[in-house]
Amino acid sequence: MLILCHKLKPNYLMVKGNERQKVAPAKILFSRTTAKGILHLAGNQKASDFFELIDSFFDIMNSTKPYP
């Protein structure tokens, strides 16, 4: 069986206390893989686009060189 979002864990969705401040689970949650999974399973284009937008934002903010 193919797992669409293999890195996504239930504890990334149900956070408590200081776990809300961790960036790594948010990066995994708002990834391109999750966006494609939402599009494939739910057919929700707007949600998929939003997740891809957040993924692109993370990539831009983590870059060290300007785009040529």
Range of the domain at 29: 23-67
pTM of the predicted protein model: 0.79
What is the rounded average pLDDT for all residues in the chain?
A: 89
Residue 5 lies in a domain: no
Residue 56 lies in a domain: yes
Residue 4 lies in a domain: no
**What's the mean pLDDT in 28-40?**
92
Confidence at 4, pLDDT banded by 50, 70, 90: confident
Residue 1 lies in a domain: no
Phi, psi dihedral angles at 3 (to 5 degrees): -100, 120
Instruction: For residue 52, give the DSSP letter.
Output: H
Residue 3 lies in a domain: no
Query: What total of structural domains would you count in the chain?
Result: 1
Residue 49 lies in a domain: yes
pLDDT of 1 reads 40
Residue 50 lies in a domain: yes
Contacts with 3 (C-beta within 8 Å, 6 or more apart), sequence order: none
The answer, yes or no, to whether residue 25 has pLDDT greater than 80, is yes
pLDDT of 56 reads 95
Q: Are 27 and 48 in contact (CB under 8 A)?
A: no
